[in-house]
Structures are given as structure tokens and as C-alpha cells.
Structure 1
Amino acid sequence: MSTDFAAARLNMVESQIRTADVTDLPLQDALRVVARESVVPASKAYLAYADADIEYAPGRWLLRPREVGKLLQALKPREGETVLAIAAPYAAAVLEKMGLSVTRHDGEDLKTVPAGAYDVIVCEGAVAVAPKSWQDALAHGGRLGVVERTGPVGRAAIYLRAEDGVGRRAAFDASPPLLAGFEAETGFSF
């Protein structure tokens, strides 16, 4: 039995993306055509459009469709901008389809980022807190989107670089698995 991925993509946009108030039309258009099944192992392709966390490599996870849609919309990507996609193969493909110039960073040391000043930085896995190196890589007016999680439920955070530094706002609740190496540091509290 083969899966009709084109139909699954359309169903994902109609039942998981649009119902989550993702109203950005260029983003919806890109989500309708980018093959999510192409960024997961063939043995997990049948899960590509499910409302599920999918491990695409050891310790690396794709955000659920609703969560990646909401995160990308909150980042307000615009054609021609530069993007750093950290452990974010699906988000990278969607942003490329939208006309952004994407640098993919899926190497061993995700806390160290390639040199540059990026308009958009996105990460598909959860982290306890966004590393300072990620914030430092933002261009003036640049936005960083990541889910920060220290307990059972995380919050998507949007960081914005302005003239006086980097600000942060919470966007929505999400609970993706933590990226390997980005767990909360444990210690003593008094």
C-alpha cells in the first residue's frame, strides 16, 4: 500500500496548519508543496504528515506540522532574507521555497553557529534556553525562533535584535523533544 503524500500535504495544511491560525498565504503555499517525507528516514515516511514528533536522526526531531507552521509565521520570513536553519531540515526547505537564502546547520556542535548575521534563525528541536551564540548571530532586525523547554511543556520564543540588544517574547505552547545536548543544566538551588 502506497501513501499519497500530495493528498497528505493538502490535508496537513487544511487540518493542522490553517486551524492553528497560520494565515500567512505564502507560508501556506510553501507548506502545500514541500515534501515533508523527504527529510525523514524512508522507514518513517508514513509519519511525515501526522501530528507527531518524528526523529529524523539520533537526537534530532522535526517539529509537528502545527508547531513549525506557527513558529515560521511568528518569524515573519520575507523573500530575499538570509536564514540559519539549526537542526531544521523541513523548516529550511519551506523557507527556501518561500525565496529565502538558507544556510543549513545540522552538524555535531549546534551551539556554535556559522559566522554571519542572519535575518532569521530557526531551530526545530527544543532547547532549555536559546544559546547566546544564536542570539549573537542575528542581524539588526533579525528574528530567532525556538521552543524553550525545561519541563513537560515548553514555549516557543521569538528573539528580536534591535539597536539596544536582543529582546524575547513568548509565542505559543509546544512540547517537542529536547535536542540532544540542549537539556537544562541541573544544579543546586537554595
Structure 2
Amino acid sequence: MADVALQRRNMVESQVRPSDVTDRRIMAAMTAIPRETFLPARLASLAYSDERLTIAPEREALPPRVLAKLIQLAELEAGDNVLVISASGYAAALVTQMANKVVALFADNEEAKAAKEAYASLAIGNVAAVAGAAASGWPAGAPYDVVLIEGGIEKVPRAIEDQLRENGRLVSISLNDKIGRAVLMHKRGGLFARRDAFQAAAPLLSGFAEARPAFVF
């Protein structure tokens, strides 16, 4: 039987720590939380590999080092209220170790139910797993200090902008050009200041595409 605790430690030491992740809280969370709990059974053996794992169409679990860097970019604080637009539920599980309250938003009720059971099995109590359209966010839990979008975006829907409190932060992977980049968007005075951080790739999430002009003959 594989020693998954050792695999988690190796993941942190060989993938996460060398990738400029310096937040000890992230490394501690990744060492403690079993990633395979949040993956389909067919992908469990790949839980600690450094690759993108396709869970469903348009849904990928980010490689551990990319996810760790994305969480670090959010600069989470202990009192934060966080919305995680989730691919697998693992990202939200990690965030619970660093923030006060977390809402994990999934595409459908079955995914939310499975995540809720996974959180309960790990005695994680400061997260709510809910289902709905990703681009609509989850207004019932707003305002949020941080929104973490685990996937690719071309634009941030207005609904999500409105759910972020003043001085809040949004992190995701921008696909507005040929090379995807992790971005931090900071809300100040109702406007968003953007900072590009590092190159990354992710599938474009439904509802996050930039509107394009219709083709005219």
C-alpha cells in the first residue's frame, strides 16, 4: 500500500517549496490534507503528480505547485471570508486552514454533496459546499474578502465583482492572451487594479469568456 502521507510530504518538498512558495501555512495544509479525497477514483493514483488532472469537461484540478502559488497570491488572512469557485474541492479545503469562513461553489448538486461529505470526513467545519453557476458567484455569502477562481478566465463577471468587498482580492488565471497568467485583482474605490504574477494554464470556465463581435458576411 502506498504511503500517502509520505507522498504528500514529497509533493511539498519537491514541487511546492521549490516553486517560490514561502507561506508555511500552505505547505502545512498540503502536508495534512489528502488530495485524493477530492478526486475521482480513476485519478486517485495521480493525486500527487505535478500535472493538470481533467475531472470533467472544462474542469481541471490545477497542479499542486500552481494551486499553492495561486493561494499564496491571495495573501489570505485569518479573518477572511473566502469564495472558492472550485474544480475539485481541494483548493477550498486548503483555504479553510488559513481563513475564517469559506464557500466552495460547484457546478451541480452532486459535486457539492460529494465535497460536503469529504469535508465532513476530514472534520473541516468552516466551509459550505454549494451548487450554482460559477459566473453568478454566491451572493448569500457575500461580501467576500477574497475570491479564488480555480480555472481560466477572460473577464470577471459583474456579479462576482459586486460580491467582493472594498479592498478585497481576486485571484485566477487570465487567458486574455496566448499565454495564461495568474493574476491578482485588488478592489479599490470600486475599481480593480491588476497585477500579473506567473505563467499558468487552465481551461476557460463557462461564463468567464470575453464577449466577441458576431461575424458579419
**TM-score (normalizing by structure 1):** 0.89
Where does residue 124 of structure 1 map in the other structure? 150
Aligned ranges 1:1-190 → 2 under 5 Å: 2-88=1-87, 89-107=89-107, 108-115=132-139, 116-187=142-213
For residue 142 of structure 1, what is the amino acid of its counterpart? G
For residue 90 of structure 1, what is the amino acid of its counterpart? Y
Shift in alpha-carbon separation, 1:187–1:165, aligned structure 2, 3 A: closer
The answer on whether the counterparts of 1:34 and 1:97 sit within 8 Å (CA) in structure 2 is no
* Deviation of 1:61 (Å): 1.2
For residue 21 of structure 2, what is the amino acid of its counterpart? V
Count residues with an aligned counterpart. Answer: 188
> Mean alpha-carbon deviation: is it higher for 167-176 or for 125-134?
125-134
SS in 2 for 1:123: strand
CA RMSD after TM alignment? 2.0
> Mean alpha-carbon deviation: is it higher for 19-28 or for 160-169?
160-169
* Deviation of 1:150 (Å): 4.0
Q: Percent identity?
A: 36
Name the CA distance, whole Å, in 2 between partners of 1:16 and 1:130.
29
**TM-score (normalizing by structure 2):** 0.79
The answer on whether the counterparts of 2:83 and 2:144 sit within 8 Å (CA) in structure 1 is yes
The answer on whether the counterparts of 2:168 and 2:187 sit within 8 Å (CA) in structure 1 is yes
* Deviation of 1:129 (Å): 2.3
